[in-house]
Amino acid sequence: MSATWDQIVERLRELSDLVAAIKLMHWDQATMMPPAGGAARARAQATLQATAHARFVDPEMGALIDGLSEESLSNEQEANLRLLRREYDKAVRVPQELVRELAEVSGRAYQAWTEARPAADFSVLEPHMVRLLELKKREAEALGYEKEPYDALLDQYEPGMTTAEVESMFQGLLRGLKPLVDEVLDNVGDPPGWLGDRYDPDRQMAFCQWLVSQLNFDVSEGRLDISPHPFTIHIGPGDVRQTTRPDPDNLMMSVYAAVHETGHALYEQGLPREWADLPIGSPPSLGMHESQSRLWENQVARSRPFTDFLLPQLKERFPEEIGMVSPDEFYRGVNHPQRTLIRVTADELTYNLHVSFRFELELALFRGELSVPDLPGAWDDMMSEHLGLRPDSVADGVLQDMHWSTGSFGYFPTYTLGTIYSAVLFAQATAQLPGLKAELRSGVTDSLLDWLRENVHSLGYQHDAKDLIERVGGGPITPEPLLDYLRAKYSELYPSA
Ligand code: ZN
């Protein structure tokens, strides 16, 4: 090992430690912190973030990276160097001034969003969004791109994927999905009553604790807690935390949120420990991360074999509420699709319709085809075109998600990319694991997890997500595996008359 390499590793360890402190502050804020601590916490986090950024863009770091390029390297060092170079170049291209202004303006915009949504008043957010959009366009120019500014933003969340590729994937998906959604929703009645009964939140939480362990989440190296918005965070090796939200009127929401987050958490627990502080020790993209959560939530936990395992377990804990529900009713109930206004509670079938028009809208904003003041109206038109519903209030329309107020443009498509990846992965796993269905029926997921560990988790960031999925899937990524899966599942669940 060279002296230059050792110095780089030492610096990366220090950065990891700073980031671990930031993450722990974030987890604490979302789960435990008294709300009055918010302002001081925001300042402490900003200080640590600025320190970490300054340490990373330090010219000495650049000199070390240049120095390493001259040396003969192992494959692993080579892979790290490539990622490090990419990250460093991006970080130094954006002027400090712009980084600071973006942090300030998005902080104010987010604050405005928290006021605008309950007041159902877009004008509270509008001036902040206008400013934020200008700054994000400048950021895209600074970062550089091949074809259009949106490429630069997308690359921050899904490295290696271009706007044109995502656009064509969405088009292919919509072509297949829209007729399927129309056909299925014609045959769906009302959701069953038991879904909306009252379920004691403490018993829900106890059930979720049991379930995440059953799915092999290692509780000796992690925790499950409660937060209003479920999330997973990797503080450091041996410390992966996830949350869910028990809602007294919606048992299955907390259960499926816990399974979703377990998918993220299993990925984090399966990353190569020996590369913990290095770029190749992390997941390659948000889409890749989301592929894991969606696979466990939908393909596994909403499958017929697994719901057959889940129901008796729930009946044991909620005999009064759910004792009379049959396996058929349960399976249909947890897969009940409907047109709704809200993305985060949308079902598996309609979810990607919500995402696709957000992508179209943000793309139009960055292509200069849409202005911020026209955004609420354009949103309502899109909602009506894609889901056949028109929101009565901007609170259920353009203001429902916080992403844009935090400047996270280019983030939304990763939800759908993740869903597309998950279908490719699950189709391969099913083909290679002939006993999988029988295992799922008895609640055993060990061989599936081993398969994911081998094909995805243990690889860390040796490949961009796109390359990894193409390797596993044996060809270019298309939405077809997802469409095949949805067609097979929903035509069996809701056959047309
Ligand atoms: Zn997720």
Which CATH number does the domain housing residue 348 bear? 1.10.1370.30
Out of 89, 117, 144, a domain closes at: 144
Asked if residue 187 and residue 136 are part of one domain, the reply reads no
- My answer on whether 130 and 225 are in the same domain is no
State which residues form the domain around 53: 3-144
Quick check: is 233 in a domain? Answer: yes
Cα dist. 370→151, 306, 360, 379, 445 in Å?
A: 18, 45, 10, 11, 47
The mean per-residue pLDDT over the stretch 462-478 comes to: 96
Residue 1: pLDDT band with limits 50, 70, 90:
low
Q: How many domains does the chain have?
A: 2
Give residue 29 CA to ligand 1 midpoint distance, Å. Answer: 19
The per-residue pLDDT for 46 is 84
* Domain-embedded: residue 475: yes
pTM higher than the cut 0.85: yes
| In-domain check, residue 156 | no
For residues 398 and 365, what is the distance between their CA atoms, to the nearest angstrom?
14
Six token digits for residue 329 = 């009713």
- Give the active site residue among 71, 76, 141, 261: 261
Alpha carbon of 393 to ligand 1 centroid (Å): 26
Q: Is residue 169 part of a domain?
A: yes
* Best CA proximity match to 287, nearest among 186, 189, 169, 406: 169
Nearest to 289 by CA among 477, 469, 77, 431: 469
Predicted confidence (pLDDT) at residue 497 exceeds the cutoff of 70: no
Q: What band does 483 get if pLDDT is binned at 50, 70 and 90?
A: very high
Is 165 in the active site? Answer: no
> Would the CA dihedral through 429, 281, 1, 89 be positive or negative?
positive
Rounded mean pLDDT of 457-472?
Answer: 97
| C-alpha of residue 264 to centroid of ligand 1, in Å | 7
The overall average pLDDT reported for the chain is: 95
Q: How confident is the model at residue 2 (pLDDT cuts 50, 70, 90)?
A: confident
In a domain, 21, yes or no: yes
Both 324 and 430 in one domain: the answer is yes
Question: 96 and 186, same structural domain?
Answer: no
- Tell me how far the alpha carbon of residue 495 lies from the centroid of ligand 1, in angstroms: 30
Range 398-421 average pLDDT: 96
Mean pLDDT, residues 168-175: 98
- Measured CA to CA in angstroms, residue 304 lies from 215, 329, 489, 492 at distances of 17, 11, 9, 11
Among 162, 71, 49, smallest CA distance to 80 is for 71
Q: How far is the CA of 4 from the centre of ligand 1 (A)?
A: 37
What does the alpha-carbon distance between residue 459 and residue 281 come to, in Å, rounded to a whole number? Answer: 8
Residue 300 pLDDT greater than 80, yes or no: yes
* pLDDT (0 to 100) of residue 327: 97
Domain match, 81 and 209 both: no
226/108 same-domain check:
no
Same domain, 93 and 220: no
The answer on 418 and 308 residing in a single domain is: yes
In a domain, 305, yes or no: yes
Same domain, 187 and 298: yes
463 plus 397 within the same structural domain = yes
Distance 65 CA to ligand 1 centre (A): 33
Does 264 share its domain with 338?
yes
* Å from CA of 230 to ligand 1 middle: 9
Report the pLDDT value the prediction gives residue 38, as an integer from 0 to 100.
81
Which among 144, 175, 200 is the end of a domain? 144
Whether 149 maps to a domain, the answer reads: no
Task: Verify that 40 and 187 share a domain, yes or no.
Answer: no
Q: From ligand 1's centre to the CA of 99, what distance in Å?
A: 27
Domain-embedded: residue 151: no
Q: For residues 322 and 104, what is the distance between their CA atoms, to the nearest angstrom?
A: 49
Q: Is the pLDDT confidence value at 218 over 80? A: yes
In the listed set 94, 111, 144, which residue is the last one of a domain according to the structure? 144
Least confident segment among 95-104, 246-255, 267-276? 95-104
294 CA from centroid of ligand 1 (Å): 7
C-alpha R_g of the chain: 23
Closest CA to 237 of 286, 285, 275: 275
Closest CA to 363 of 166, 231, 120: 166
